[in-house]
Amino acid sequence: MTHIVTDNCRACRFTQCVSVCPVECFHVGEDMLYIDPELCIDCGGCIPVCPVNAIYDTVAMPEEHAPWIAINKQKSAELPVISAAMDPMPGAEDKRAALGL
């Protein structure tokens, strides 16, 4: 079991999750982050700090997010680790507003 990043992160990439993660299990892609399921310890620290509610515990997520399990696994294997927070993407606040968050 693990935690996953889902579509809400796309074009936002706020990265508060990276600061709270104790194990550096986030990997950074072009427009969003992914979690390495082998490394995630399910501490859940990232969930409440995500401004756009993009992160879920796979044990307690809406069914529609299930495809993201495989995507996180695959992308985290390909992409570099992000070990420190970075600036959100341009337009992140707009997307957040559009999400009503």
Partner 1 sequence: MASKTVLGACPQDCPDTCSMLVNVEDGKVTSVRGNPDHPYTRGRLCVKVNNYQDKIYSPDRVLHPLRRVGPKGSAQFEQITWDEALDEIETKWKAIIAEHGASAILPYSYLGTQGNSQGLHVGDAFFNKMGASVSERTFCDSGSCTAYAITIGDTAGVDPEALALSKYIVLWATNPLSANSHLWPFIMEAKKNGAKIVVVDPYKTTTAKQADWHIPILPGTDGALALGLMNVIINEGLTDTDYVEKYTSGIEELTEHVQQYDPETVADLTGLSSDDVRKLAREFAAAEPAVIRVGVAIERHAGGGQTVRALACLPALTGAWRKPGGGILQLPIWVFPMRWDAMSRADFLPENPRVVNLWKLGEILNGENLEGPPIKSMMVYNANPAVTTAEQEKVIQGLMREDLFTVVSEHFITDTARHADIVLPATTQMEQEEIMFSWGHFYLTFNNKAIDPMGDAIPNTELFRRLAARMGFDDPHFRMTDEELMRNTIDWDSPTLEGVTFEDIKERGYVRLNLPKTEEYAPHAEGNFHTASGKCEFVSSAAAGGNFVIPLFRQGYTEQQMGDAITPIPEYIPPNESTATNPTLGASYPLSMVSPKSHAYLSSSFGNLKHQQEHNGKQSVIMHPDDAKVRSISNGDLVTIKNNRGSYVAEAKVTEDVRPGVVFSPVGHWRHGSEANATVQAILPSTLADLGGAPTFSDTLVEISLVNTAGKSIAAE
Query: By the criterion CB under 8 A, which residues form the site for partner 1?
Result: 1, 20, 22-24, 39, 41-45, 48-49, 57, 59-60
Task: For 45, list phi and psi in degrees, rounded to 5.
Answer: -60, -25
Shortest reach from residue 94's CB to partner 1, in Å: 26
Q: Minimum CB separation from partner 1 for residue 24, in Å?
A: 7
Contacts of 34 (CB under 8 A, 6+ apart): 5, 26, 27, 71, 72, 75, 76, 79
Q: For the CB of residue 59, give the shortest distance to partner 1 in the complex, in Å.
A: 4
